[in-house]
């Protein structure tokens, strides 16, 4: 990630719960791990099959729908919404993410979330 993006991302994320509760050290670690993706309207992200592909998502701009494996709507999310917590449960939950409009997402690797949960 470009170093010039970090202050903008930090200002955005630092005001979103649960990240607003993190120490500066942990917040810096989370921000340094973020992957940024852009989805065009209608584009989908399939449910991750491997642990390395699991992320916690933050909607920066735009909106997405979560669609269950049976095709039913699970939820609609917009700017500042955080989702993907169910990916961290032991129970298998499958859904796809579909962009309702052009959307910018921040992705935090599951490994970072697991580490924070277990060590802090």
Answer yes or no: is 2 within a domain.
Answer: no
Answer yes or no: is 93 within a domain.
Answer: yes
Listing from the earlier edge strand, what are the strands of the sheet with 35-39?
35-39, 103-109, 55-61, 82-83
pLDDT in tens, 22-35: 999 999 999 999 99
Determine the structural domain holding residue 91 and report its residue range: 36-119
How confident is the model at residue 29, as a pLDDT? 93
Entry pTM: 0.87
CATH number for the domain harbouring residue 98: 2.60.120.10
Number of separate domains in the chain: 1
Listed residue (30, 55, 37) closest to 105, CA to CA: 37
Listing from the earlier edge strand, what are the strands of the sheet with 73-78?
44-45, 95-99, 63-68, 73-78
Calculate mean pLDDT across residues 15-23.
Answer: 92
- In the block, tokens 């933050």 appear at 58
How confident is the model at residue 63, as a pLDDT? 98
């Amino acid at each position: 990630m470009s170093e010039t993006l970090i202050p903008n991302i930090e200002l955005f994320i630092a005001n979103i719960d649960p990240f607003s509760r993190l120490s500066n050290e942990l917040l810096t670690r989370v921000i340094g791990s973020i992957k940024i993706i852009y989805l065009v309207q209608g584009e989908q992200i399939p449910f991750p099959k491997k642990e390395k592909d699991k992320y916690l998502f933050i909607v920066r701009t735009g909106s997405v729908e979560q669609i269950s494996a049976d095709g039913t709507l699970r939820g609609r999310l917009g700017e500042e919404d955080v989702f993907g917590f169910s990916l961290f449960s032991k129970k298998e939950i499958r859904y796809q993410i579909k962009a309702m409009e052009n959307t910018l997402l921040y992705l935090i690797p599951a490994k970072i979330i697991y580490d924070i949960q277990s060590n802090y």
